[in-house]
Structure 1
């Protein structure tokens, strides 16, 4: 038996020269940037789950099926999509037989980017024209999502520090002190900027989830 060398950085493993990305077998690929993340690969047939950050789902070949859960009405009907924006903390279920890309948005800077379905479809079309080894910045750029400064510079500074040193912020007061705010004012501003509240010892985990965004929580 011939032992095949495994390249951990491989994005696509073509059985033969392919004309375009959709015609190539896809291996999972994860890219991380400050407070953003991207997954490219098989749909994985995940169970219903929610993400800490808003997520753009993109079909790279066949369409995928999506449904979302909203209380008290419950689950929506399944709908066929080539691209979709899934809001943060939204329980959802995706089924796909083809490769997908997921872009996990920065809750501090990207929450100011309204994306219509037309913009999502246009971004997908641009993404499919790129080199198959497109990077995370190119992928976000296809959807016209560029780095922005947060409205609240003090909260942005805290989030960036928590990304660097998550273990150093075990209590709300420590993060509030870095922002030069009282704990109550910091809590209120953090909620507005990030989209969910810092809850004492959960603050480090909350900000880390906002930064990595690739981890999902099942309900």
Structure 2
């Protein structure tokens, strides 16, 4: 009877949850872990609730199973350690490669490494690169506004000539007569001239063409 009972248990081990103990640690699945836990719990229940005569044999079987579990864990830990060491070596190799690239870059283009956080690198071959400072642009815009204002005044004076306020004979006259004629012209067109200049300057500031 005992021999037959032992054979039945061996058959259960080959086909049931016991089969997880015969697998390679690297082939175990989550279901195998559950099976191993189930087998250990079953053996503990059999030891605590079974006949006293069966206790020594049950304890021996449980010891073998515990040893098998420890061997699986040891194999997994060793494999994990090898993986970690390989990753560390790869990390060190990559770090050395990066350091070498930095040294090569510093020897070839030292100006790139001396740039601070508040500065900007400019590619001189870029056609869209900035060519003026902000102050230079302001000076150019101010000069442009002054030239536009002078152009408007010149156009108003030309209009005075065309309208007859200033004739060629007045141009050849003395300074007093010329100033008098110019005063009449400016007196008649000063208001419109100022409005035109102010209007065009505001239009220029708003990004419109005068």
- Scaled to the shorter chain, the TM-score interval is under 0.3
Higher RCO (C-alpha under 8 Å, 6+ residues apart): 1
Q: TM-score, normalised by structure 1?
A: 0.16
Q: Which has the higher strand share?
A: 1
Q: Which has the higher helix share?
A: 2
